[in-house]
Structure 1
């Protein structure tokens, strides 16, 4: 009881650092990269200051810069030159992500851990994450699964260290795990977007990945923002199907979900600090309303404190420079 107990005694000097419960390290970071086979020079994203689409030939240079900052991993998103109703540019041996993986691994080898996003939305003409029945405007779950498996295998054979399915199709982890194992890629882990919400915070990403949809929305396969019990069930199912890492996306509006999933399953857990979260802080900082470095650090620290072992964030390079 006060005055014997004074909490402020431990908030000054070296002891403040010594008793800190949560630490944020460059080792926690995964840097998202957008690789576009339609361009020959970087294309800046207006809604995401500092982020650009890169030509395939520059992917290794960007990854090398990240590695020199100490960032251990990147995740690749591809923008193909052609799109069709099934997203068939997603799984070719010489398609955009496969080429980018080889570029990075040839340049950096084990010095950069390469993760690939496995989804069809960037490759389909309609912009949805699976095969579509256009007559009824329905996204078809089961016909999509073999295409996700085929895409994951093509990434692994190109040299990806990990694949990250993000389409929120039921059974996608089983389909991808089976496909990888049958292709002698059993050592390639899966990071599942297990709890991916149908969120308005993805807006700037659609500019960066050229993945807007031509009808409806993604609420029939991405989660309702009102639900958290459902997220726990989604994560459990993906774990049972063979996911090695599970993810919550977005991060900041869903810290309660992140905490629940980490507490419940106690397994490697990622959180995606998405484009809208990034854009808001950048915009407020540009207007002088917030100190960018301080709010960036505080936001990412909160994600780590809630339970994330790794954070996918467009702030990765900024934070790495700050921590250095």
Structure 2
């Protein structure tokens, strides 16, 4: 992922990519003309204003705290940290020094989901009843330090809270491990949001079918977002009367019109970097804050605990959730 960040930063207006730090990378892995250094200290010596942390999750706290102590703003890849304690430590370090920190929950910058969020904010769906996500595909060999909950399900946890402006109150889950690694590679979990809506999430690394789908169902129909293609559809509740007696007795909803929206499809990673650049420059920018990302880590911890203990886990009511709107 670091290579993708470097690619975007190398061409980003208003930003100069002055160095890439990696203790083990081949020098040729950096963009042409950009030096490769081996440590945060060498990176800081280049006189940088901000850095992107795209290393294994287990190292996020160490690298982020080093940057904070040097007075360097940071965009940290998701998940923010491997535990709530670690995430809170990172958040405090940047906040106490007045530094800008953002977290790379890139789905917030997917054009289909941004369009969906805008339409939900306008009340086009009415009350939200349910959010369903499916995120599955082949195993990514680059991931070694976490399982599918921290690497992939954190996308769905964050986007669900962000889309609905709500927080997870409880979760239950099942996981399995079939790839021979110590971490889970499939999870199915359901949740209840503070708004009263329910959620359902299927996430795995065990499918040859790559799928990234978000379905939000409400009183007026449902939105379906495909974040692989950045397409968005609306399936409206039907209002046409039917002469079929058996169906007429059903008191639910009926199939209505289907609309596919024309969405401007900009690269999510580019939009994420433009937003963080603006935040560093002191402009108003809707970045994902460490406090919001800590809430996501708390839900991920609860999902794993629910699967291990085979029970419903209530999220700590003493935690004050960060605003997601």
Q: TM-score, normalised by structure 1?
A: 0.29
Q: TM-score, normalised by structure 2?
A: 0.29
Give the strand-richer structure, 1 or 2.
Answer: 2
Who wins on radius of gyration, i.e. which is larger?
Answer: 2
